[in-house]
């Protein structure tokens, strides 16, 4: 009987795959033309001494890149920002999702407020952050009224904190939506059974909510890490081409290499960054797979 069912499923897959391929073709073609093919070409150029009539130089471009002080600074800043901002946004979005999952009076209003940053273009709202954190901005005026010294936020060590706030503001709504979907997919019977057995709120949170929310947490963490590598747009609009050393990211380095037409360093840096992201993603998927096997 099982063999018959498996055979029927295989026949159905064989019948449906041309239709599925037809629907996927436009996206696959667009992804190949604008992302995959340019990246493969860039990786190939990273092993040449020049883009036109270049000769193969092996890892010479990568050695020169790793010896660059500006690249090392950009790499350290990028991974430091990711290591600080991702745990913060995970904790805050989870706490807010737990709050919004309760029957509170202003729940719908709060849901709308957290979704707004997803639909508002960054370019149209970045001026608000500039006004807020400028030398003569709103925050410094408040500090002056409280007899505190002004801080040049974007040209000091506090710039990384400002960038973290902007990143969290922009991406927290998306994470909250994902966590809410995960929370609402947990069967209510588990909580009712735990209440009958006398379990408290902390026990239900740690043994039910967080356990069954782990797959969603892996996905949210993955998306947060990827979004942390895409923070260049906000930083560029607020601080310009050459921001303070604390917020000089890999994207700034690659943008400056593009402006100076140093294609070899640009492609080598892009290849290394993509390689690091792939390693992180692979490790996370491996951990998630083992967790699923443990839960099963």
- Give CA separation, 73 vs 104, 137, 177, 235, 275, in Å: 46, 29, 34, 16, 18
Compute the half-sphere exposure of residue 216: CA atoms within 13 Å on the CB side of its CA. 22
CB 154 within 8 A of CB 239: yes
Residue 91 confidence (pLDDT): 93
Structure tokens at 294: 């443990």
Query: CB within 8 A of 38, min separation 6: which ones?
Result: none
Q: Which domains does the chain have, with CATH numbers?
A: 67-295 (1.10.3720.10)
- pLDDT values of the chain reduced to their tens digit, one per residue, 296 residues: 455 445 455 565 556 677 778 888 888 898 888 888 888 888 888 888 887 777 888 888 899 888 988 899 999 999 999 999 999 999 999 998 888 887 766 666 776 777 777 777 777 777 777 788 877 778 888 888 888 888 888 888 888 888 898 888 888 888 988 898 888 888 888 887 888 877 788 888 888 888 888 888 988 998 899 888 888 877 877 777 778 888 888 888 888 888 888 888 888 998 998 888 889 888 888 887 887 777 66
Label residue 39 exposed, middle or buried (CB < 10 Å: 0-12, 13-18, 19+).
Answer: middle
DSSP one-letter string for the chain = -HHHHHHHHHHHHHHHHHHHHHHHHHHHHHHIIIIIHHHHHHHHHTTBS-SSS--B-TTHHHHHHHT-HHHHHHHHHHHHHHHHHHHHHHHHHHHHHHHHTS--TTHHHHHHHHHHHHHS-HHHHHHHHHHHHSTTSHHHHHHHHTT-----GGGSTTHHHHHHHHHHHHHHHHHHHHHHHHHHTS-HHHHHHHHHTT--HHHHIIIIIHHHTHHHHHHHHHHHHHHHTTTHHHHHHHH-SS--GGG--HHHHHHHHHHTT-HHHHHHHHHHHHHHHHHHHHHHHHHHHHHHHHH-
User: What pTM value is reported for the model?
Assistant: 0.81
Residue 115 confidence (pLDDT): 73
For residue 28, how far is the Cα from the chain centroid? 23
Cα(70)–Cα(91) distance, integer angstroms? 32
């Amino acid at each position: 009987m099982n063999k018959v069912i498996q055979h029927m499923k295989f026949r159905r897959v064989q019948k449906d795959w041309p239709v599925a391929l037809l629907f996927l073709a436009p996206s696959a073609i667009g992804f190949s033309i604008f992302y995959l093919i340019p990246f493969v070409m860039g990786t190939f150029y990273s092993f040449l001494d020049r883009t036109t009539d270049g000769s193969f130089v092996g890892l010479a471009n990568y050695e020169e890149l790793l010896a660059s002080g500006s690249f090392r600074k950009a790499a350290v800043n990028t991974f430091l920002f990711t290591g600080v901002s991702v745990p913060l946004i995970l904790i805050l979005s989870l706490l807010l999702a737990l709050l919004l999952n309760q029957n509170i009076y202003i729940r719908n209003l709060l849901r709308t407020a957290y979704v707004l940053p997803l639909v508002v273009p960054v370019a149209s709202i970045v001026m608000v952050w500039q006004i807020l954190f400028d030398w003569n901005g709103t925050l410094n005026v408040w500090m002056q009224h409280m007899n505190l010294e002004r801080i040049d936020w974007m040209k000091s060590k506090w710039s990384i904190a400002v960038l973290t706030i902007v990143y969290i503001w922009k991406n927290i709504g998306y994470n909250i939506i994902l966590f809410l979907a995960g929370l609402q997919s947990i069967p209510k019977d588990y909580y009712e059974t735990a209440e009958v057995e006398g379990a408290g709120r902390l026990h239900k949170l740690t043994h039910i909510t967080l356990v069954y929310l782990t797959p969603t947490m892996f996905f949210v963490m993955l998306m947060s890490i990827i979004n942390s590598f895409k923070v260049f747009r906000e930083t560029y609009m607020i601080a310009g081409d050459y921001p303070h050393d604390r917020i000089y990211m890999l994207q700034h380095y690659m943008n400056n290499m593009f402006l100076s037409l140093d294609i070899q360093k640009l492609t080598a840096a892009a290849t290394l960054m993509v390689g690091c992201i792939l390693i992180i993603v692979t490790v996370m998927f491996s951990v998630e797979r083992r967790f699923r096997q443990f839960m099963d």
